[in-house]
Amino acid sequence: MTRPSDGGRIEVICGCMYSGKTEELIRRMRQVRIARQSYRIFTPRMDTRYAEGQVASHSGSRLEAITVATMREILTYAQDVQVVAIDELHLFDDDPAEMVRGCQWLANRGARVIVAGLDLNYRAEPFPAMMHLLALAEQVDKLYAICVKCGAYATRSQRLIDGKPAPADAPTIVVGGLDMYEARCRACYEPAV
Ligand code: ADP
Ligand code: ZN
């Protein structure tokens, strides 16, 4: 098909929970729709917070999406599409290297690939697939939430169990909302031990 110079690119929208990543993804995809470009939006099967077949932000905006589990599935649906959006990339239960390879392949074929996801897990360590895509991307936007403790810009997702920081040996992926995760700044973040 086309070469990267014909428009293929990777855009990464990252940040902590509640930083507006999904909102920003939806905003960009509404513009894609206005531009009458062909597109597909993918959301991971792991994300059980909302109805299948939708991306939804915490503030309530929604757009139709295809719920999938692997990059292989994305690639079968995304053939010959101009814009490919993947929400919550860190939540895919697939080899991180496969996720990165798939995004690269799509962009090399000329697609605009827009990826949204957490840059850091609840232990404040980078998610491998996101870490690589941040380096490879043409455009990176790091968004901030508001720290629930002090009101500063938040960059960390604090996972809580009964109001206390979750231990370091807890599973990396646990899907949850405001009851389980708080946005916090570097100073207010309590490291998992
Ligand atoms: P993300 O995809 O990054 O988790 P969303 O786009 O789903 O974020 O939701 C962002 C929305 O979350 C904000 O517009 C706001 O309404 C809400 N929100 C809830 N808690 C916070 C917070 N601590 N800081 C900022 N926004 C918050
Ligand atoms: Zn703070």
**Is the shortest distance between the CB of 79 and ligand 1 below 6 Å?**
no
Q: Which domains does the chain have, with CATH numbers?
A: 9-143 (3.40.50.300)
Q: Which atom of ligand 1 is nearest to the CA of 59?
A: 16
CA of 141 to the centre of ligand 2 (A): 21
CB-ligand 1 contact for 148 (6 Å cutoff): yes
Ligand 1 close to Cβ of residue 17 (< 6 A): yes
Residues that are catalytic: 88
Q: Which pLDDT does position 2 carry in this prediction? A: 42
Task: State the pLDDT at residue 176.
Answer: 84
Distance 14 CA to ligand 1 centre (A): 13
H/E element, 96: helix 96-108
CA of 76 to the centre of ligand 1 (A): 31
Which residue numbers in the chain have pLDDT < 50?
A: 1-5
The pLDDT value recorded for residue 4 is 43
How far apart, in whole angstroms, are the C-alpha atoms of residue 85 and residue 21?
Answer: 12
Q: How high is the pLDDT of residue 97?
A: 98
Pocket test for ligand 1, best of 54, 59, 155 (most atoms within 8 A of CB): 59
Residue 159 contacts residue 181 (beta carbons within 8 Å): yes
Residue 151: left (phi > 0), alpha (psi -120 to 50), or beta?
left
State which of 12, 14, 17, 18 you would mutate to test the pocket of ligand 1, scoring each by most atoms of that ligand within 8 A of its C-beta: 18
pLDDT at 7: 80
- The sign one gets for the Cα dihedral 176, 177, 180, 182 is positive
pLDDT given at position 3: 45
Closest protein CA for atom 15 of ligand 1: 59
Q: What is the pLDDT of residue 50?
A: 67
Instruction: Annotate 13-30 with b (16+ C-beta within 10 A) or e (fewer).
Output: bbbbbbbbbbbbbbebbe
Residue whose CA lies nearest to ligand 1 atom number 7: 57
